[in-house]
Amino acid sequence: MLARAVRSYLDVRRAAGYALRHVEPNLRSFAAYCDGKGHRYVTAQVAIEWARQSSPSATQRARRLADVKRFAVYVHAEDARHEIPPEVFGKERGPRPTPYILSDHQICQIIQLAAQSGYRTLRRQTYSTFFALLACTGLRVSEAIHLRYDDIAPDGLIIRATKFRKSRLVPLHETARAGLERYLKLRRPYAPFDDHVFISLRRKPLLIHDVETAFQTVIEKMKLPRGRGQRRPTPHSLRHAFAVRALQHCPDGRDRITQHMLMLSTYLGHCKAELTYWYLEAVPDLMRSIADRCESYVTGGRP
């Protein structure tokens, strides 16, 4: 039965740190589909049939088939009767969308407007501090939402087992720490029995939807133009801006650049350094800088 093999595969992947929230239902569905067809082994034809069902887009079909393909590689290693299906629907992931990079002036505007939006309640301080923290640390929105009092350490913020189940320490500049402490003086008495750093007016932890709504309210007031590919700014744009500023201040020298990129990748919580290098090709200013340095090197100058 493929169901038993699926359980074994999921256990191994989870032991390696993968969450598999969407993979598990897909593979269980595939195993049940094969069982209904009377197949004890993975076959390319049945895998493609299953991936095509109830999937309106080619991208969704490609993702479903990719889940089965990884499972098939696992079981094929022990039994060659399992077939590894080809990628007939294309790649499961398309190119990453072009980020919307906010300028320093725009970030200051966002923070100021957030401090003035809505009624004169804790909401103003919550979102102005929240957006400021994203901008000066590069945290993911979900990481900032889940911060608790105990995560504020003398050396910075402890980001616990978030994406890819990795924990890391994010240093805080003294000005960022001071701003956070000012907010906490107002926040602590508001919901004394909840230890989340950021709290809603419902006296509960913020929701991602809450953050997105507050951000878009501010953006609409600013009337920011759309970016490349008609991209609109999102709360994640603050993280993108932080990464780009860090790359723009990268020191000269091949070894120092390599160390800088590795440190930035670790700081941002990227599982692969290539995710950090993506910013180099996604931002025109950084690409121009690379081109200028290459031209200088070719013409005899020092990079």
Q: What is the CATH number of the domain that holds 212?
A: 1.10.443.10
Tokens at 120, concatenated: 């004169």
Q: Is residue 270 part of a domain?
A: yes
Residue 270, C-beta contacts closer than 8 angstroms, at least 6 positions apart? 276
pLDDT at 287 > cutoff 60: no
238 plus 144 within the same structural domain: yes
Is 218:114 a contact under the CB 8 Å cutoff?
yes
Task: For the chain, give the secondary structure using H, E and C.
Answer: CHHHHHHHHHHHHHHCCCCCCCHHHHHHHHHHHHHHHCCCCCCHHHHHHHHHCCCCCHHHHHHHHHHHHHHHHHHHCCCCCCCCCCCCCCCCCCCCCCCCCCCHHHHHHHHHHHCCCCCCCHHHHHHHHHHHHHHHHCCCHHHHHCCEHHHEECCEEEECCCHHHCCEEECCCHHHHHHHHHHHHHHCCCCCCCCECCECCCCCECCHHHHHHHHHHHHHHHCCCCCHHHCCCCCHHHHHHHHHHHHHCCCCCHHHHHHHHHHHHHHHCCCCHHHHHHHHHHCHHHHHHHHHHHHHHHCCCCC
Query: 262: pLDDT confidence band, cut at 50, 70 and 90?
Result: low
Q: Is residue 81 part of a domain?
A: no
66 plus 120 within the same structural domain: no
pLDDT for residue 110: 96
47 plus 108 within the same structural domain: no
User: pLDDT: is 69 or 161 the higher one?
Assistant: 69
Q: Is residue 35 part of a domain?
A: yes
Tokens at 288, concatenated: 């121009």
For residue 1, CA distances in Å to 11, 41, 85, 157, 252 come to 16, 8, 19, 47, 58
> Which among 76, 104, 138 is the end of a domain?
76
51 plus 107 within the same structural domain: no
Average pLDDT over residues 36-58: 87
Of 9, 80, 10, residue with least CA distance to 43: 80
pLDDT for residue 292: 58
Percent of the chain with pLDDT over 70: 77
6 plus 60 within the same structural domain: yes
Percent of the chain with pLDDT over 90: 49
Range with lowest mean pLDDT among 1-10, 12-21, 38-47, 86-95: 86-95
**Residue 63 CB neighbours (<10 A):** 19
pTM confidence score: 0.69
217 plus 272 within the same structural domain: yes
pLDDT at 251 > cutoff 80: no
Range of the domain at 60: 2-76
Q: Is residue 119 part of a domain?
A: yes
pLDDT at 1 > cutoff 60: yes
Q: Is residue 12 part of a domain?
A: yes
Indicate the average pLDDT of the chain. Answer: 83
Q: Is residue 53 part of a domain?
A: yes
pLDDT for residue 165: 64
pLDDT for residue 244: 79
pLDDT for residue 224: 84
294 plus 148 within the same structural domain: yes
pLDDT for residue 252: 60
User: pLDDT: is 247 or 258 the higher one?
Assistant: 247
133 plus 259 within the same structural domain: yes
pLDDT digits (tens, 9 = 90+) for 156-212: 999 886 655 678 888 899 999 999 999 999 999 999 999 999 999 899 999 999 999
137 plus 225 within the same structural domain: yes
pLDDT for residue 22: 86
pLDDT for residue 282: 58
Average pLDDT over residues 23-46: 92
Average pLDDT over residues 215-232: 81
pLDDT at 142 > cutoff 70: yes
Range with lowest mean pLDDT among 41-45, 216-220, 262-266: 262-266
Query: 277: pLDDT confidence band, cut at 50, 70 and 90?
Result: low
65 plus 99 within the same structural domain: no
User: pLDDT: is 30 or 57 the higher one?
Assistant: 30
pLDDT for residue 113: 94
104 plus 205 within the same structural domain: yes
101 plus 227 within the same structural domain: yes
Q: Is residue 132 part of a domain?
A: yes
Residue type, 292: D
Q: Is residue 89 part of a domain?
A: no
In the chain, the number of structural domains is 2
pLDDT for residue 90: 80
pLDDT at 135 > cutoff 80: yes
